[in-house]
Structure 1
Amino acid sequence: MLNFRWETFILGVVQGLCEFLPVSSSGHLALLQNRFGLGGEGLLAFDLLLHCATLLAVLIFFRRDLCVLASGWFRGCVRRSARGEEGWRYGWAVLAATAATGAAALPLKGAVESAMQSQIAVGSGLLVTAGLLFLVPLFPEGERRPYLGTALLVGLAQGLAVFPGVSRSGATIAAGLFLGLAVAEAFRFSFLISIPAILGASLLEAMRLRKSGGLSSLPEGWVWAALAAFVLGWLALILLRRLVLSGRWVYFGLYCLILGIFVIVSSVGLGF
């Protein structure tokens, strides 16, 4: 368990750095897993572990927001007078976005699993992400906060971003800005709605792996990989908040564009 293995550690580093930055962690993991020749139930359990590690980073990073908003929502459930608080409105917005994410993502499960095995599909997803990031600076800066309609559309964007190469954070923040959310609000809402989405997907995958026995077949060195994913995920959130607030999207867009073209060209050239 405590043995070190470079392949798993690199995957943990990539998960931590790419899960929150708008460059698609799923796309990078799929490319590296194919390159390392990794697969099977043990790898699925490992992916689940890495996502739980970065989810923990989100919970710690947004701990104050979560406490304030959750307490406000629960007060609204028991006292009508508390339903004017931000937590009440925000809680329903998060629930609406989560429902929209599930409705969009669940029917796509088979297509997503197939796309994970195709480098051309991953490269195409990266090009979609690049296009979104190049469009973001064209959106006028808004001042809105999330409401029900906004939440449903941002949740839909999150559900469609399950394809490898399409960045979840990039898609949801871009959708929020397009719908008129303030920049800081789009960043916060994007990651608050990621919590139930990642948690729900992780629980479903854990139940499936438990039935098949896959949870007992984690690869060697998984402890160090999970630690790297947690620490670097937390640092990536700090970096992303600064970059989002300063509007520096073009760098990520260029990176996704170059990587996407490289992946597609190399895949065609190798006959994949």
Structure 2
Amino acid sequence: MSAPDLSLGLAALLGALQGVAEFLPISSSGHLALAERVAGLEAGAGGHSFNIVVHAGTLLAVLIHYRDDLLAIARGVLRPGHASKDMPDAPGAFGHAPPDIPLIATRAATDPAGHVPADSPTPRGTTDPAGHVPADSHGRAASGSAPTDARALLLALVLGTLPLAAALAPPVEGLVIAAEHYPQAIGVCFLVTAAMLGFAEWRTRRQQRPQEVPRPLQALLIGLAQLVAILPGISRSGSTIAAAMALGLGRLPAARFSFLLAIPAILGASLKEAIGLMKHGLPAADPLAFIVGFLVSFVVGVATLRVLLVLLVRVGVLPFVPYLVVLGLAVLALG
């Protein structure tokens, strides 16, 4: 099957797959590469461009979900003379938390000024029994947790993005496209992701007081983990969340940093792809299929992101390890 065979149905299916796999730490690029291989969609004839488009759909989900954090960072940059330390704790973009989310500390536990009442069972700066920073249902630090400096978070994001400059080199892009054609390489990368998640969960359960924002060297190391994740099969969210947890961040702060770190990464890849399309022309595929893939990946991504944050609070990342091990071994066995 060639690029013109990217039907609307296949585009919607791949968009949904991207929406699920981008946020769950199971590698969206690996799943897309395998699915496109099964469907016969060539990476060099539209498949690779389509991957960038559906990644942009999940990027929009991140921008909307973490918009309060992004606004706080912007205020910290534009008004450096003002105290802008408390990250937002407003309800998330999609309404109130589902009733089954075990909130550790919520806005209801604070007074109108954001302070924890004296009789509150969750005083400022405390952590849950597993040693994780209290957070609301949307992955942000709750108003009862220790303050987070927005400018420190911005610095960490800048440092974490720097390693991606290496991905701009044409040989690196060629390596990624070539890897999409070799299922065995993808299978090995699935196993690598599983190992990273297992180690991170082991490390975070031994921590006493996890951090909310990585320090500069930690941010660079998390950025290196994101660089490795350009290979299909190594999850971007999985590698960065695992690296952040292993370096001392709690589960939800690690997820927040991971998804905020995805913004410049996906923006850069999308811009690079757009420039390439302007130079060489659109791939021989129905433009409507790209629009459908984008919209489906966005809608599914919105729902999946919320589900992931619930899972992080309840069980962590360990449940994804056996899935990745089984999938990786199956890909290796089947070729």
- TM-score using structure 2 length: 0.73
Match of 1:127 in 2: 191
Deviating more after overlay: 12-21 vs 67-76: 67-76
Larger helix fraction of residues: 1
**1:55 to 2:122 alignment:** no
The answer to whether 1:98 aligns with 2:101 is no
Q: Alignment identity in percent?
A: 40
Q: Is the 8 A contact 1:46 1:219 kept in 2?
A: no
Is 1:105–1:160's contact at 8 Å kept on the other side of the alignment?
A: no
Structure exhibiting the larger radius of gyration computed from Cα positions: 2
Larger RCO, structure (CA 8 Å, separation 6 or more) = 1
Q: Whole-Å Cα distance in 2 between the matches of residues 218 and 131 of structure 1? A: 39
**What amino acid maps onto 1:143 in structure 2?**
P
- Structure 1 stretch 164-173 or stretch 38-47: which is displaced more? 38-47
CA contact (8 A) 2:75 2:84 kept: no
CA-CA distance at 1:105 after TM superposition: 6.8
Contact kept? 2:62, 2:259, Cα under 8 Å: yes
Q: Which of 218, 224, 232 is the matching residue for 2:300? A: 232
SS at match of 2:46: helix
- CA 1:208–1:155 in 2, change beyond 3 Å: closer, same or farther? same
Match of 1:207 in 2: 275
Query: For residue 270 of structure 1, what is the aligned residue in structure 2?
Result: none
- Aligned counterparts of 2:297 and 2:71: Cα–Cα separation in 1: 24
Q: Is the 8 A contact 1:41 1:209 kept in 2?
A: no
Mark the runs of 5 or more structure 1 residues left unpaired by the alignment. Answer: 268-272
Q: Name 2:21's counterpart in structure 1.
A: 18
Q: CA deviation at 1:92?
A: 1.2
CA distance in 1, matches of 2:61, 2:218: 26
1:126 to partner: Cα distance? 0.6
Per mean C-alpha deviation after superposition, the further-off stretch among 172-181 and 107-116 is 107-116
Q: Relative to 1, partners in 2 of residues 1:216 and 1:104: Cα closer, same or farther, differing over 3 Å?
A: closer
**Counterpart pick for 1:42 among 41, 46, 50:** 46
C-alpha deviation, 1:225, in angstroms: 2.4
> Separation in 1 of the partners of 2:165 and 2:79?
26
Aligned residues: 262
Say whether 1:89 aligns with 2:152. Answer: yes
Q: Give 1:257 shift.
A: 0.7
Deviation at 1:148, TM superposition (A): 1.0
CA distance in 2, matches of 1:219, 1:8: 11
Aligned residue for 1:22, secondary structure, equals coil
Instruction: Report the equivalent of 2:35.
Output: 32
CA RMSD of aligned residues (A): 2.1
